């Protein structure tokens, strides 16, 4: 009886960049960022620590599974060649080669973001990826010298939005697009101070984000026209930039925030405290208005800006490349990984 020869289908080992979250992906921003890595990666395959654990369990069940009578599959070999730590404070030690990403404001006074909980990891990491130059400057001053600035990007669906037409007597609409946190890190106290110095006859608000009904109802009680929404689908959030005159950022501290590139690619001026990547984009030119933290003064500056300087800011934003798409951002990450690995 002739013996059938089997052929083995071999697969090239996959080069894996492992994203280590050290906790489940319960952060909306982490989930969105990781999804962009999955979509736009071109040089590596990106997987989370949870995916790799799941895949290893699945592989045990399907090892050497027959494809047909004359062939069998060889288990897929995955080689983790680089690790990106998104919460380095939650791991005992880093595995090199690796990078740490600074997602938070290094000046945030919260105990959870105390620099002492992160610094030892930053010092031994092969690379520390900052979202803005302020983070990089602080870390360089602390002896963390292997740094690069790679900010957040924008979703491509935002690029071709067209603003809604406004009537001659329309009120100016300020948009605040962020989740509300219990410790009020998004600057709700200052928002209320500003509102008490602004006129409901000239200003209205659009608030989008979890728990924003609290602020929306308070502003309504103060006489303002307000549209607010919670748990808004991202495509709806994108379209909402059509309906505001300027993005308002009152945050006490920020890593980015994500709304900055979203606003700028939609030609929306920004009115903000100098947090996160705000100083970086304003260093390139007039993208809007930097607040002084004096509510009475800032209310006057906001009205002057909206009436006299907003159109010039829109022209500047439209003319200049101030932010990058997520596709470009992921490419920057992968280029930086290759540099650490000595491939470039």
Predicted confidence (pLDDT) per residue in 195-208, tens digit: 999 999 999 999 99
- Give this prediction's pTM: 0.88
Q: At what angle do helices 188-195 and 212-221 cross, to 10 degrees?
A: 20
- Mean pLDDT for the chain overall: 88
Task: Indicate if the pLDDT at residue 89 is higher than 50.
Answer: yes
Mean pLDDT for the stretch of residues 138-161:
94
Task: Indicate if the pLDDT at residue 302 is higher than 70.
Answer: yes
Choice between 231 and 55, residue whose per-residue pLDDT is larger: 231
Note the pLDDT of residue 163.
Answer: 64
What tokens does 317 get? 């934003």
Mean pLDDT for the stretch of residues 252-259:
94
Task: Indicate if the pLDDT at residue 151 is higher than 90.
Answer: yes
Mean pLDDT for the stretch of residues 25-32:
75
Q: Which residues pair with 73 in a beta bridge?
A: 9
- Could you report the per-residue pLDDT of 178-193, keeping only the tens digit for each? 999 988 999 999 999 9
Mean pLDDT for the stretch of residues 88-100:
96
Task: Indicate if the pLDDT at residue 67 is higher than 50.
Answer: no
CA dist 100 and 273 (Å) reads: 26
Query: How far does CA 206 lie from the centroid of its chain?
Result: 21
Mean pLDDT for the stretch of residues 62-91:
67
Mean pLDDT for the stretch of residues 128-150:
98
Task: Indicate if the pLDDT at residue 316 is higher than 80.
Answer: yes
Is residue 257 very low, low, confident or very high in pLDDT (cuts 50, 70, 90)?
Answer: very high
Is residue 98 very low, low, confident or very high in pLDDT (cuts 50, 70, 90)?
Answer: very high
Note the pLDDT of residue 52.
Answer: 73
């Amino acid at each position: 009886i002739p013996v059938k020869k089997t052929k083995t289908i071999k697969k090239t080992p996959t080069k894996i960049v492992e994203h280590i979250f050290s906790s489940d992906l319960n952060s909306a921003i982490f989930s969105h960022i990781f999804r962009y890595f999955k979509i736009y990666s071109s040089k590596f395959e990106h997987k989370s620590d949870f995916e790799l654990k799941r895949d290893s369990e699945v592989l045990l069940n399907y090892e050497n599974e027959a494809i047909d009578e004359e062939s069998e599959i060889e288990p897929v070999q995955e080689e983790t060649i680089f690790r990106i730590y998104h919460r380095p404070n939650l791991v005992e030690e880093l595995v090199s080669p690796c990078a740490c990403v600074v997602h938070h404001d290094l000046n945030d006074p919260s105990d959870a973001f105390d620099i002492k909980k992160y610094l030892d990891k930053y010092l031994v990491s092969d690379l520390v990826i900052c979202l803005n130059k302020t983070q990089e400057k602080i870390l360089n001053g602390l002896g963390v010298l292997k740094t690069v600035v790679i900010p957040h990007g924008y979703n491509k669906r935002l690029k071709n939005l067209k603003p809604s037409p406004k009537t001659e007597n329309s009120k100016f609409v300020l948009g605040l697009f962020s989740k509300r946190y219990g410790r009020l890190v998004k600057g709700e106290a200052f928002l209320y101070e500003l509102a008490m110095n602004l006129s409901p006859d000239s200003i209205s608000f659009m608030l989008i984000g979890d728990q924003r009904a609290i602020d929306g109802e308070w502003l309504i009680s103060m006489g303002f026209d307000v549209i607010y929404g919670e748990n808004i689908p991202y495509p709806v959030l994108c379209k909402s930039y059509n309906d505001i005159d300027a993005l308002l950022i009152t945050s006490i501290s920020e890593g980015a925030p994500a709304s900055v590139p979203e606003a700028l690619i939609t030609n929306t001026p920004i009115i903000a405290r100098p947090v996160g990547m705000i100083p970086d984009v304003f260093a390139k030119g007039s993208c809007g208005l930097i607040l002084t933290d004096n509510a009475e003064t800032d209310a006057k500056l906001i009205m002057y800006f909206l009436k006299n300087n907003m159109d010039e800011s829109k022209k500047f934003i439209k003319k200049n490349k101030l932010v990058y798409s997520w596709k470009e951002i992921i490419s920057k990450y992968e280029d930086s990984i290759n540099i650490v690995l000595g491939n470039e």
